[in-house]
Structure 1
Amino acid sequence: MTSVALESQTEAIGYNGWTNRETWLVNLWLGNDMSSYDFLQRICKKRCETWEKAEELEAHFQDELEEMFDVPSFWSDILGTSLDRVDWYRVIEANIE
């Protein structure tokens, strides 16, 4: 299967019940690391709209990415593109208790 066909299939059906693989992976990692989970829960418990929580979570990871790579590179572009595909709203929705 070509990457184009795989991407079309992924967008049509999602991944493991999530918007896409990137969203699933972010949620998986946030749920499997205690400090990340605590951070996520602090955001989820804030008294603001879900979209505001999603924006805060996304901004956190974009800031982390910028700190990891002080100059543009192949890896910063690949990771940045992956983070851009994450459905941050869905991650927040799934973790609001």
Structure 2
Amino acid sequence: MNNNYNGWMNYETWVTALWIDNDQSSYYYSHELTKLAQEEHSQKQDRISYLATLLKDWIQEMNPLADDANLFSDLLNAALSEVNWGEIAENFLTDSTVSS
């Protein structure tokens, strides 16, 4: 991990993890997804990969500009493409293991 922004790979990854952790409904839903990844996969790397996909799909589904074609949707999509979903997933799985 290249800790370039507050211990995270980049700003986009940090701010995404921050918002998920600090928004109550997102926090609880991310914990449900984390639990699902733990139940579905026994190997650490499989859990990380699966949870990363779940998180990415979930956030992309919530994108209010997904169907728009304009400057703002392009900028948002560019930022989301920089998010290291595996890093977020690994962090959530580690936190879940510690708190269990």
TM class by shorter-chain length?
A: 0.7 to 0.9
SS in 1 for 2:9: coil
Q: Could you tell me how far apart the structure 2 residues matched to 1:15 and 1:25 are? A: 10
User: Displacement, 1:40?
Assistant: 0.7
The Cα RMSD (Å) is 1.4
Task: State yes or no: 1:17 paired with 2:4.
Answer: no
SS in 2 for 1:45: helix
- Decide whether aligned partners of structure 1 residues 72 and 28 sit closer, same or farther in structure 2, where only a CA change above 3 A counts: same
| Structure 2 unaligned residues grouped into runs of 5+ | 42-46
SS in 2 for 1:80: helix
- Decide whether aligned partners of structure 1 residues 51 and 13 sit closer, same or farther in structure 2, where only a CA change above 3 A counts: closer
User: Displacement, 1:13?
Assistant: 5.2
Q: Could you tell me how far apart the structure 1 residues matched to 2:84 and 2:61 are? A: 17
Q: Which residue of 1 aligns with 2:35?
A: 45
TM-score by length of 1: 0.79
| Structure 1 unaligned residues grouped into runs of 5+ | 1-11
Q: How many residues align?
A: 84
After superposing on structure 2, the runs of 4+ consecutive aligned residues of structure 1 that deviate more than 3 Å are none
What is the aligned counterpart of 1:82 among 79, 82, 89? 79
Q: Deviations 1:32-70 (Å, cap 9, x if unpaired)? A: 1110100111111112321011011101111222xx223
Q: Which residue of 1 aligns with 2:54?
A: 56
What is the aligned counterpart of 1:72 among 51, 57, 69? 69
TM-score by length of 2: 0.77
Q: Deviations 1:48-93 (Å, cap 9, x if unpaired)? A: 321011011101111222xx22321111111111111001111111
Q: Which residue of 2 aligns with 1:26?
A: 16
